[in-house]
Amino acid sequence: MSEWIKQYARALGFELVGVAPAQPPPHAESFLQWLAQGYAGTMEYLQRTARLRVNPAELLPDARSAVVVGLNYAPAELPETDYRIARYALGEDYHRVLREKLETLLGAIQALAPDTQGRVCVDSAPVLERDLAWLAGLGWYGKNTCLINTHRGSYFFIGVLLLTLELEYDSPAEGGCGTCRLCLDACPTGALIEPYTLDARRCVSYLTIERRDSIPEAYRASMGEWLFGCDICQEVCPFNRPRVHQPLRAQPAREPRFQARPLPRLHEILTMDEGAFTARFRGSAITRARWRGLVRNALIVAGNRGDPALRPLIERYCHHEDPILRETAQWALARLAARQGSSGTQVCP
């Protein structure tokens, strides 16, 4: 049955698949400590659901096995834009894609073993998912805190199908970064405070996606052109670089829904109202930032780009009713001026 499930999962398009015992994740304690140290920032939902997130029995009573899958999301081509978006958000929202495939897999298993109960987990318990992926042999933890597969790198989504079925378990993945510390040195905000530890409060992914209020000034210039998310610590990782003897590395996603959708230019984002935002990004993970968050990020990117043509668009927010957008516009104008070599003291007209 285990082998049949794996073959079926591969036929559904999953590049990686393994089976782990449905047990509390081995790294549960370090996750709880990480939360206690405040590294999760304003992601209170992690705190609220922490205990649930570390126990498969909370998600499916009598769970015995976890079928863990990996789906490559790296699009074949990065889109032409004047800003950057993390690769995982360039195509269709992964939640729907992954859930649909895992539900098909569950249906096929239940057709063969009708008494089996199952539960699909996609981002419902990320800690559990990553630990289970390690236990199922999909990859090992990198110093950038991503799960890395020696042959395929780290550009893949993880999904879990919990089952009440007993299956044959795979062995935990072996591998490691060795002495490499490229990700720690490349992180623009110093968010990787030590190997394997991320201070999310400094991470551009958290700042641009999860943070709802103002982005602290200390990190704005370091955001560079990242409008939504950040891939730097994955881009520099040698396991994401093509190698002659590693033909699977850096292969583009086979899933057509993960190919990059066309993106608006920065000036279009700066002129979008909430309705236009919703219509433009429907079905994309970018909606997670919400309209205000994306415009706030766009103002920062506009300042960082130093393009004088963007100045009138930044000024549109100088007297906006939203204080966060007003204040960010002020900063962006000063940054723009500084990038153009003037004193950096220009303010809203």
Residues known to be catalytic: 123
Residue 40: CB partners within 8 Å, gap ≥ 6? 34, 46, 47, 200
- Shortest CA distance to 85 belongs to which of 74, 72, 96, 71? 74
Please say which residue, 19 or 209, places its beta carbon nearer to ligand SF4: 209
Site for ligand SF4 in 212-251 (CB under 6 A): 230, 232-233
Q: Applying CB under 6 A, does 147 fall inside the site for ligand SF4?
A: no
Beta strands in the chain (DSSP E): 16-21, 65-72, 84-85, 118-121, 140-141, 147-148, 156-163, 192-194, 197-198, 226-228
Q: Applying CB under 6 A, does 270 fall inside the site for ligand SF4?
A: no
Q: Residue 338 has which token pair?
A: 């500084």
Q: How far is the CB of 348 from ligand SF4 (least distance, A)?
A: 29
- Shortest CA distance to 56 belongs to which of 29, 84, 30, 28? 28
- Single out the segment in contact with ligand SF4 by CB under 6 A; choices: 124-132, 199-207, 261-269, 313-321: 199-207
Q: Applying CB under 6 A, does 285 fall inside the site for ligand SF4?
A: no
Residue 180: CB partners within 8 Å, gap ≥ 6? 143, 238
Which one among 60, 147, 203, 295 touches ligand SF4, defined by CB under 6 A?
Answer: 203
Q: 160 pairs with which residues across the strands?
A: 68, 121
Please say which residue, 23 or 189, places its beta carbon nearer to ligand SF4: 189
Pairing of strands 65-72, 156-163: antiparallel
Instruction: Say how far apart CA 311 and CA 326 lie, in whole Å.
Output: 14
Q: Applying CB under 6 A, does 54 fall inside the site for ligand SF4?
A: no
State the binding string over 104-143 for ligand SF4 (x if CB under 6 A, else -): ----------------------------------------
Q: Residue 143 has which token pair?
A: 């110093």
Neighbours of 161 (CB within 10 A): 25
Number of residues that bind ligand SF4 (CB under 6 A): 13
Q: Applying CB under 6 A, does 313 fall inside the site for ligand SF4?
A: no
Q: Applying CB under 6 A, does 154 fall inside the site for ligand SF4?
A: no
Please say which residue, 60 or 289, places its beta carbon nearer to ligand SF4: 289
- Shortest CA distance to 160 belongs to which of 193, 105, 122, 190? 122
State the binding string over 68-97 for ligand SF4 (x if CB under 6 A, else -): ------------------------------
Which one among 9, 71, 204, 337 touches ligand SF4, defined by CB under 6 A?
Answer: 204
Q: How far is the CB of 55 from ligand SF4 (least distance, A)?
A: 28
- Single out the segment in contact with ligand SF4 by CB under 6 A; choices: 55-63, 187-195, 250-258, 271-279: 187-195
Stretch (H or E) spanning 65: strand 65-72
Q: Applying CB under 6 A, does 189 fall inside the site for ligand SF4?
A: yes
- Shortest CA distance to 41 belongs to which of 266, 203, 230? 203
Q: Applying CB under 6 A, does 184 fall inside the site for ligand SF4?
A: no
φ, ψ dihedrals at 162, nearest 5° = -85, 140
Residues engaged in binding ligand SF4 (CB under 6 A): 144, 187-189, 191-192, 198, 203-205, 230, 232-233
